[in-house]
Chain A
Amino acid sequence: MRIASAVASRLVWTVPTLLLATLVAFLLQQLIPGDQAVALAGEYATDEKLAAIRADLGLDQPVLTRYLDWIGGVVTGDLGTSYRTGQPVTEIVLDRLPVTLVLTLFALLVAIVIGIPSGVAAAQRPGSWVDRLFTTAATAGIAIPNFWLGMMLIAVFALQLGWLPGPGGVDFADDPGNALRALVLPAIALGMVGSAEICRQVRSAMIESLGSDYVRTLRATGLSRWSIVWRHALKNSSLPLATILGIQVSHLVGGAVVVEAVFGLSGIGSLVVEATNQRDYVVIQAVVLLAAVIVLVTNLVVDISYRLLDPRIS
């Protein structure tokens, strides 16, 4: 019963947002200046092709009709057809999606593995030199553009030391081992900013938590500091933690676009850049929508699982 109501209450929030997101993605195409058919087909398209596009998109019809038509396709998994390659967009996107998902997941791991312990360490003694060091490092970490960090990592670890593969991704199907190795540097480049953000937020949540009466009581019972910090205080600050992870997914998916470009990985990030250069608007639209869907769905999952785990939230 609780599961059902938790899922339902979040769905009530997510579904309208998702619908509005499709509207935003659809309306993006209205931003194209000039004749959309020409823009979509390219300047040298034949008249027949232009006519075909106009008919296909229903450009002579009102925007609302076209939206309903388009959304009808979207919910059945049909994102349209690329006017550059003639391939179904859904196919193109699904082909590129795994690389981005794996990269984002790796980066999230990096962010968590670095971010949480450093945030916890900084929170132990607010104002101490450890705290100053970590918070200043975190502020610096947020300031470093991920694509620049990626270049530096390539320069040092790929070009100078030759430890890890540089740019130019390896196809997963051909050589899974090397493909994973090729994701190490991009994941670090992408995850570092996230780790800095997590560090800052974990720090403030932990300071709050460690200063609570509850923790003071635990201290009085003689529990070890280690156990108080890791088993009780961190658990108590896990609500902000869940929120932070939800936000991080959004940041990482956005950051993946640039990091993929640096490392030559063929994910949806480099796809959207290629599509922009080729003016393949249907693909751009699909990737933008997909990014929002990924963010909304992960947030939904994080939120529901959190509600199920935490008895305080009903």
Chain B
Amino acid sequence: MWTTLSKPARTAPRTSAVIWLSYGILAVVAVVVVLADVLAPHAPNHQDLTSVLLGPSTEHPLGTDDLGRDVLSRLLHGTRVSILAALLAVGIALVVGFPLGVLAGYVGGWPDAILMRLLDTVMAFPALVLAIGITAMLGPDITTAMVAVGVVLTPVVVRLTRAQTMAVAGQTYIEAASSFGARGVRRMILPHVVPNVVQPIVAQLAVLMGFALIAEASLSFLQLGVQPPTASWGTILARSYTFLERAPMSIFVPGAAIALTVFALNIVGEEVQRLLDPRRR
């Protein structure tokens, strides 16, 4: 009952426009991640103190910040940093959580009971607070921050995987496989359990990614994640916040980038889940 992520029991109806818009947003983000160097008109950390806090112009489409850095270039590079950081966190959660979830769901018994107890405990901590605690102890930088977010996400992955594994383990084809002697990781878990568990988890990855992005932004905003001068969505927001009174609109674009990306991830996650629903077949 302790989840950091909530998934709706019934997926919401969506107009196809919203869904296509979401695919579009994610495509743009993907392109930016790959081609940030090419797309950015300026170096992200290049300061020009003669042109600080400029408004939009042809040379600086989104203006400049208080150190005269090109906001668009910082945003493009920041997108790459933020997305890669979130991928790292989700990757950690997946690499640790998926095998544990399969193990707990398939083996059951006391290993399952102990593991679930431990995860309940980890989930009792508010996700962001625990992530801050871990980051603070390890020394704040982007890697430790994302490791911390990965740790916080792991119980979610374990629970999802475990539930799915338990459903699969009760299927007749598992019993059929054991009737001709299939057992162990190579003959049972890898060929029969994992392929049938993996798909529903994939749909959840989008949602986990959204959570990791917001966590990155939050931690970087608190100076606990990406460290200045490196640009990320969180550090850009933190910086713009310091000159909010002089340039109020400068907080809009980076925040909107986060919100739109997470929105698109959630919509696409729901859509994938709907497409994978066996009842649809």
Report A-B touching, CB under 8 Å: yes
A residues lining the B interface (CB < 8 Å): 16-17, 20-21, 24-25, 28-29, 31-33, 126-127, 131-132, 135-136, 138-140, 142-145, 147-148, 151-152, 154-155, 159-160, 197, 200-201, 203-205, 207-208, 243-244, 246-247, 250-251, 253-255, 257-258, 261-262, 272-273, 275-277, 279, 281, 284-285, 287-288, 291-292, 295-296, 299
A and B contact pairs by CB, cutoff 8 A, 13 listed: A139-B267, A144-B262, A145-B214, A147-B217, A151-B237, A200-B6, A250-B126, A255-B128, A261-B221, A273-B222, A277-B223, A284-B137, A288-B125
* A216 CB, nearest partner CB in chain B, Å: 18
Q: Chain A: interface secondary structure?
A: helix
B132: interface (CB < 8 Å): yes
- A136–B224 contact, CB under 8 A? no
Within 8 A of A (CB), among B240-281: 241, 244-245, 248, 251-252, 255, 258-263, 265-267, 270
Chain A residue at minimal CB-CB distance from B213: A145
Given the known interface contacts A31-B134, A251-B4, A284-B136, the answer about A21 and B125 at a Cβ–Cβ threshold of 8 Å is: yes
Chain B residue at minimal CB-CB distance from A269: B129
- B218–A159 contact, CB under 8 A? no
Chain A residue at minimal CB-CB distance from B224: A276
Given the known interface contacts A151-B244, A258-B218, the answer about A143 and B259 at a Cβ–Cβ threshold of 8 Å is: yes
Query: A142: which B residues are within 8 A, CB to CB?
Result: 210, 262, 266
B186: interface (CB < 8 Å): no
* B245 CB, nearest partner CB in chain A, Å: 6
- B1–A258 contact, CB under 8 A? no
Comparing B11-19, B90-98, B100-108, the segment that makes contact with chain A is B11-19
Within 8 A of A (CB), among B1-41: 1-4, 6, 8-10, 12-15, 18
Which of A17, A33, A205, A257 interacts with B132 by CB under 8 Å? A257
B139: interface (CB < 8 Å): yes
B52: interface (CB < 8 Å): no
Comparing B68-76, B115-123, B174-182, B189-197, the segment that makes contact with chain A is B115-123
B43: interface (CB < 8 Å): no
The interface size bin for chain B is 35 or more
Chain B residue at minimal CB-CB distance from A198: B6
B228: interface (CB < 8 Å): no
- B125–A139 contact, CB under 8 A? no
Interface centre among A33, A148, A273 (most CB of B within 10 A): A148
- B255–A258 contact, CB under 8 A? no
Query: B258: which A residues are within 8 A, CB to CB?
Result: 143-145, 148
* B235 CB, nearest partner CB in chain A, Å: 13
- A247–B6 contact, CB under 8 A? yes
Query: B128: which A residues are within 8 A, CB to CB?
Result: 254-255, 257-258
- A159–B6 contact, CB under 8 A? no
Query: B12: which A residues are within 8 A, CB to CB?
Result: 131-132, 135-136, 138-139, 200, 203
Instruction: Give CA–CA (A125, B70) in the complex, Å.
Output: 48
